[in-house]
Structure 1
Amino acid sequence: MSPPATVAEEQVVVMDSQGPEGDSLPPTIIKFRGKEFNVDKWLDQVSLCRYLPEDEMRTLCAILTAKISMYPNIAAVSSPATIVGDIHGQFYDLMVLFEKGGSPTDSTYVFMGDYVDRGYYSLESLTYLFLMMLKFPGKVVLLRGNHETRRVSHQYGFYEDCHKKYCHNAVWKACCEVFDALPIAALIDEKIFCVHGGLSPNLPTLDSVMCLQRNIEVPPNGPLCDLVWSDPEESVSQWCMNPRGAGWVFGRDVAEQFVRKNNLTLICRSHQLVQEGFKYIFGNFLCNVWSAPNYCYRCGNVASILKIAPDGTRDVVIFSAVENDDRRIPERNAAPYFL
């Protein structure tokens, strides 16, 4: 097997072509492997809850893998920022989320993982977010969640979604290569630490997170596993075994020590459904953001995004699920895509 290409070898070039006079967002053209691709045309198609033809989707994954593989483990973000929790393939609710949150040109979006599985439209939701990363470089940040792994996405729906629509697993494999390259945390204004799951006893500092080897499949245990699987719990103070079978349960003392040692004001994570969409744990220095309303189309919860202003002000925006009459529910067996 040949070694993976580096970013330099792939030569990903983003070119904003000249639009009509007065246009604030000219078309985004990506030059990759000697060809040019119009990101806006892809977005126009995917925004209608459609997926891309196989060759285009595999090209998109190759572009992203080349582009983000050299990113640091912790993405540096400046406010204003919009923090987003789990999406889980709920495409129509994702569209509402962007309506509530506004344009990425005005606020950097930090998505904390779990874009796929369980919902009707894992492939379409993930593709839309991939394209938003290209359309708004540095303004849409995707972190890795525990569902952005081969083991979990094979079991909970994304693999099947790709296989039904493309009739094989090549696109799923290409997406998993992007998953391997995703950053595992973000740091907003050097004060707010964003991660999908939680903390690890082996990663007491931000520097230790920065030094972690991330460009691999998440193992069943160890520090990388901890970051995407661990959960906070108010009834404990230190570390306990996690009933999920991966990661840890950690208490107030652990979280408070991490905040103090790293000069933070907030740990922000997702990973756990909260009926009210947003919840503080351990006072106001750790919070849970959940962004999939009426999770699995039956839980009845609302969802939220957390907006961070440059002065540190936190604004929780709550939203509800799209009504069934306003969403397209797929047939049980999706038609193959032969284009």
Structure 2
Amino acid sequence: MASVNGSALPDVKKSEELKAQANEAFQAHRFARAVELYTKAIELNSENAVLYANRAFAHTKLEEYGSAISDASRAIEINPKYVKGYYRRGAAYLAMGKEKEALKDFRQVAKIVPYDPDAKRKLKECEKAVNKAKFEAAIALEWQSVMTLDYTTIEVEETYQGPRIDDKITLDFVKKMMEEFKNQKTIHKRYAYQILLQTHETLKATPTLVDITVPPNGHFTICGDIHGQFYDLLNIFSLNGLPSEENPYLFNGDFVDRGSFSVECIFTLFAFKCLYPTGLYLSRGNHESKSMNKIYGFDGEVKTKFNETMSEMFTEVFCCLPLANVINGKIFVVHGGLFSSDGVKLSDIRSINRFREPPEEGLMSEILWSDPHPGQGRIPSKRGVGVAFGSDVTTRFLQENNLDLVVRSHEVKDEGYEETHDGKLITVFSAPNYCDQMGNKGAFIRFDAPDLKPKFTTFSAVPHPSVRPMQYANNFFSMLA
């Protein structure tokens, strides 16, 4: 970059070359590479609003909504009439469930281009989303639990050909259910209700932080996000065996949303939880929440495949999921990550009131949303929620709690896993070719006692029926994605 009187001048030509490369990377779904290239282009020409808006879109694809909002705001600052800046920021706000903020941006778009039919359509859809959210907030004040439903009064028609539960859930039933799901069929709502009610009772009696014991010569498997990718879940079981007391698993949150076979995933996991309470463990992820489910597809999928009552039941069950697990007193497992301040003890986590929708800040929010970063200390999260924590934060947390390792999920990794923070933190992600476009592998971790050293298995995506991801997602969000 040239300079005049000590002030840097933009290198427009080189910046545009990098922008073109970034656009190509974006089209190839290499979103992290696109962010890197847009950043280099911005360094050469920091007053180009298009570069910030484009980078905002790439951040959105990476679910880094805080960074997307920051970039879109910068684009608007450079050019207050730049429509795409408002579009990008509005989409990021919507992805975070902040409909009111999104509405302000889409109203601004309509002011700038009042005769644009697409702008009018998106504004109308956003207004509908805000009004729906207001209505749901109002009726929430009259909320009553749906977990009192008596499934035994529901008749199973003679024409029903699927698997049946005679008295209690059996392995034979679960295997037949998975086969039905594999063939794109479903189970009778009576049995679906029975699974949900039994899971609710089991989880409600489970501590917020679960202590798991792996006996000598035993083993334990941890899986990360599966995000509704049922056929990849079946592949995990094919590679590593079905869950059982002798072959225990922990699925570390984000079972649903994004993928369009979330119903199949969650009923399979819940049925195994009912069958083997200490053969399958579950941690809550940031997508086991009402706000995320309404945006990213699970709510729509449940209502399409079952009904609204079933959707309400899932909301209640998700609020009973534990937030953390400790294996043999040494391995700390959470979905997201660590905390915005030092000194958090395991006893603090045990005392969290988890029976609610996740708050926007505090220990529960950070457990579900935080991410590691490669440096030291803490920096703002790219997601706009939680915190990004460095290796020193991880080391202090482990030392203060006499732990050896943090295992977490929450982020796509090219190889399905990543070891960072001097080997003291592992990220595992079990949804290969995430959303049918990221090209990543999936992975799971097996720990063999007594040394509990991690052994990684990676795997590629398997074919699935031609139902696109986000098939059941919020219509407005799908329109912007």
Partner of 1:279: 418
Task: Return the alpha-carbon distance in structure 2 between the equivalents of residues 314 and 42 of structure 1.
Answer: 29
Partner of 1:56: 191
Query: What amino acid does structure 1 have at the position aligned with 2:206?
Result: Y
Partner of 1:23: none
How far apart are residue 37 of structure 1 and its match?
3.4
Match of 1:230 among 367, 370, 380: 370
What is the aligned-residue RMSD (CA, Å)?
2.5
- Relative to structure 1, the CA distance from residue 270 to residue 73 in structure 2 (aligned partners, 3 Å threshold; closer, same or farther) is same
Partner of 1:239: 378
Partner of 2:201: 66
For the 8 Å contact 2:198–2:274, the answer to whether it is kept is no
Partner of 2:335: 196
Task: Return the alpha-carbon distance in structure 2 between the equivalents of residues 82 and 70 of structure 1.
Answer: 23
Per-residue displacement from partner, 1:91-135 (whole Å, max 9, x unpaired)? 000011112222433332011000001112010111111001112
- Relative to structure 1, the CA distance from residue 227 to residue 275 in structure 2 (aligned partners, 3 Å threshold; closer, same or farther) is same
**What's the secondary structure of 1:61's corresponding residue?**
helix
How far apart are residue 291 of structure 1 and its match?
0.4
Equivalent positions of 1:100-139 (< 5 A) are 100-105=239-244, 106-139=246-279
Match of 2:353 among 200, 208, 213: 213
Equivalent positions of 1:136-147 (< 5 A) are 136-147=276-287
Per-residue displacement from partner, 1:148-167 (whole Å, max 9, x unpaired)? 0001111001011112212x
What TM-score results when the alignment is normalised by the length of structure 2?
Answer: 0.60
Q: Larger relative contact order (C-alpha < 8 A, sep ≥ 6)?
A: 1
Partner of 1:337: none
- From the CA coordinates, give the structure whose radius of gyration is larger: 2
* Structure 1: 5+ residue stretches without partners: 11-28, 335-339
Partner of 1:155: 295
For the 8 Å contact 1:212–1:224, the answer to whether it is kept is yes
Partner of 1:257: 396
How far apart are residue 271 of structure 1 and its match?
0.1
Matched, 1:330 2:462: no
Question: Which of the pair is proportionally richer in helix?
Answer: 2
Task: Return the alpha-carbon distance in structure 2 between the equivalents of residues 3 and 276 of structure 1.
Answer: 44
What TM-score results when the alignment is normalised by the length of structure 1?
Answer: 0.84
For the 8 Å contact 2:169–2:271, the answer to whether it is kept is no
How far apart are residue 313 of structure 1 and its match?
2.2
Question: Which of the pair is proportionally richer in strand?
Answer: 1
- Relative to structure 1, the CA distance from residue 297 to residue 204 in structure 2 (aligned partners, 3 Å threshold; closer, same or farther) is same
Partner of 2:28: none
Partner of 1:38: 169
Task: Return the alpha-carbon distance in structure 1 between the equivalents of residues 309 and 176 of structure 2.
Answer: 24
Task: Return the alpha-carbon distance in structure 2 between the equivalents of residues 309 and 120 of structure 1.
Answer: 34
Per-residue displacement from partner, 1:42-100 (whole Å, max 9, x unpaired)? 54123431332223222221111112102111112123110110000000000111122
Per-residue displacement from partner, 1:245-278 (whole Å, max 9, x unpaired)? 2111111111110011111111000000001111
How far apart are residue 331 of structure 1 and its match?
8.1
Task: Return the alpha-carbon distance in structure 2 between the equivalents of residues 46 and 173 of structure 1.
Answer: 23
**What's the secondary structure of 2:168's corresponding residue?**
strand
**What's the secondary structure of 1:92's corresponding residue?**
helix
Partner of 1:315: 455
For the 8 Å contact 1:51–1:123, the answer to whether it is kept is no
For the 8 Å contact 1:78–1:108, the answer to whether it is kept is no
Query: What amino acid does structure 2 have at the position aligned with 1:44?
Result: K
Task: Return the alpha-carbon distance in structure 2 between the equivalents of residues 101 and 164 of structure 1.
Answer: 32
For the 8 Å contact 2:169–2:275, the answer to whether it is kept is no
- Relative to structure 1, the CA distance from residue 3 to residue 66 in structure 2 (aligned partners, 3 Å threshold; closer, same or farther) is farther
How far apart are residue 330 of structure 1 and its match?
3.4
- Relative to structure 1, the CA distance from residue 214 to residue 47 in structure 2 (aligned partners, 3 Å threshold; closer, same or farther) is farther
How far apart are residue 239 of structure 1 and its match?
2.1
How far apart are residue 318 of structure 1 and its match?
0.9
Partner of 1:82: 221
**What's the secondary structure of 1:284's corresponding residue?**
coil
Task: Return the alpha-carbon distance in structure 2 between the equivalents of residues 141 and 103 of structure 1.
Answer: 13
- Relative to structure 1, the CA distance from residue 110 to residue 4 in structure 2 (aligned partners, 3 Å threshold; closer, same or farther) is same
Count of matched residue pairs? 305
Match of 1:289 among 413, 428, 449: 428
For the 8 Å contact 1:43–1:128, the answer to whether it is kept is no
Task: Return the alpha-carbon distance in structure 2 between the equivalents of residues 217 and 85 of structure 1.
Answer: 21
Query: What amino acid does structure 2 have at the position aligned with 1:110?
Result: L
Query: What amino acid does structure 1 have at the position aligned with 2:290?
Result: R
Percent identity for Structure 1 against Structure 2: 32
Equivalent positions of 1:168-207 (< 5 A) are 168-201=307-340, 204-207=344-347
